[in-house]
Chains A and B, each alone.
Chain A
Amino acid sequence: MATTVQDRYSNAAVALHWLIAVLIFASFPLGWISASLRLSPLKLQLVSYHKWVGVTVFIVAIARLVWRSVSAAPRPLAAPAWQHRAADLVHWSLYALMFALPLTGWIFSSATGVPTVYLGLWQLPDVVGRDRALASVLRSAHEALGWALLALVLAHAAAALKHHFVDRDGLLRRMSF
């Protein structure tokens, strides 16, 4: 089944999609490992890298939405209506989490009293003052949202693979260069 131009995402959309995929996959182990380490230089390094990746996800997510508003997504594949609804739900939830995770992480950092300095160069303003009770709530929220993101990413990838390899409808070509 040959894909035509309007059947696939634009090169910019494809690049942004895979960039954010790589960032999310990097962010998980960084967050997971740094949270479990005792206080050490390595922990401080990983926490900083995790925050840098998170800020980058936030920026790239904005770029994706802007690009999406000027360059339309390709025609939907032929599929049952419930699958379209499920796909829409997952896609927009993924977008929501691409913002919710960096935002909760940022406020969590502020509440812990450890500001975020993007790439070690630009310090973000603190949203709230140092507040241990709030920090503990935000940490739980950030972790819960992280698990939700992982679950959705897996569902998203599983559905894409199912389309491509089981239904053989060429879905992955839409998200390739």
Chain B
Amino acid sequence: MRCLRDRMKLIPIVLAAALLASSANAQPVDLQRSSIRVTARQMNVPFDGQFRSFTASLAWDDRKPEASKATVEVDLASFDLGEPSFNDEARGKAFLDAARVPRATFTTSSIRTLGSGRYEATGKLGIKGVTRDVTVPFSIREDGGRRIFEASLPLKRLDYGIGEGEWSDTKTLANETMIQVRLVTNAGR
């Protein structure tokens, strides 16, 4: 029952992805090779998790990088810290609140070339009902016919209300977290 509902929720994303994929310059993202990782610290102890389920659409134009676009949609309930009690807390109301707003979204609004394979995207990041402008540095490299887009986004969790109530104590759980996004496309262009 629940499984079916989850699948139904995915239909609009699949449609949106198909639509984007049909537009010019869109490259299919190899989700098996792509990843979104999060690193954080509690009591100065590093820990990391990853989102097991997300979709991404990428329309990259080498000749005109500033005309390129990217959208990433992340299933917050797929966040995995490798330990069930941690996962329950992280997906729950105080943190990602996946039940209320199931997906986080990032959409680029502009892209700037920094040189030597480095770029900077600005865009809107929406998590838990809060949408903010963010600047995301990223790089592109080729690897065996694949193209790898890698971005690092330092994020202050409290900007998005991630870790409310008792968890807003940043001495125990640091405010600074690092999001590392790796998107792999099959076709170099």
Contact = CB atoms under 8 A, between A and B. Distances in A.
**A in complex with B:** yes
Interface of A: 39-42, 44-45, 47-48, 112-117, 120-121, 123, 130, 132
B173 A44 contact: yes
B39 interface: no
7 contacts: A42-B166, A48-B45, A113-B82, A117-B44, A120-B43, A121-B44, A123-B46
Contact of B83 (A41, A112, A115): A112
B89 A39 contact: yes
B45 A117 contact: yes
A48 B166 contact: no
Interface of B: 42-47, 81-83, 85-86, 88-89, 166-167, 169, 172-173
Q: Which of B81, B89, B166, B172 has the most CB of A within 10 A?
A: B172
Contacts of A123: 45-46
A163 B172 CA distance: 46
Contact of A44 (B46, B81, B172): B172
Nearest to B173: A41
Given A48-B43, A117-B46, A123-B45, 11 more contacts: A39-B88, A44-B42, A44-B172, A44-B173, A114-B47, A115-B45, A117-B43, A117-B45, A120-B45, A123-B46, A132-B83
Q: Which of A47, A117, A123, A130 has the most CB of B within 10 A?
A: A117
B82 A39 contact: no
Contacts of B86: 39
A112 B81 CA distance: 10
Nearest to B85: A39
B83 A40 contact: no
B172 A45 contact: yes
A115 B82 CA distance: 13
Contacts of A48: 43, 45
Given A112-B83, A113-B82, A130-B82, A41 B44 contact: no
Contacts of B45: 48, 114-117, 120, 123
Contacts of A47: 43
A115 B46 contact: yes
A38 B47 CA distance: 18
A44 B83 CA distance: 14
A45 B83 contact: no
Q: Which of A44, A47, A121, A132 has the most CB of B within 10 A?
A: A44
A40 B85 contact: no
Q: Which of B44, B85, B166 has the most CB of A within 10 A?
A: B44
Contact of A41 (B47, B85, B88, B167): B167
B47 to A, nearest CB: 6
Q: Which of B43, B86, B173 has the most CB of A within 10 A?
A: B43
Contacts of B167: 41
B163 to A, nearest CB: 9
B42 to A, nearest CB: 5
B76 to A, nearest CB: 18
Contacts of A39: 85-86, 88-89
Given A112-B83, A113-B82, A113-B83, A41 B172 contact: yes
A120 B83 contact: no
B164 to A, nearest CB: 12
B43 A44 contact: yes
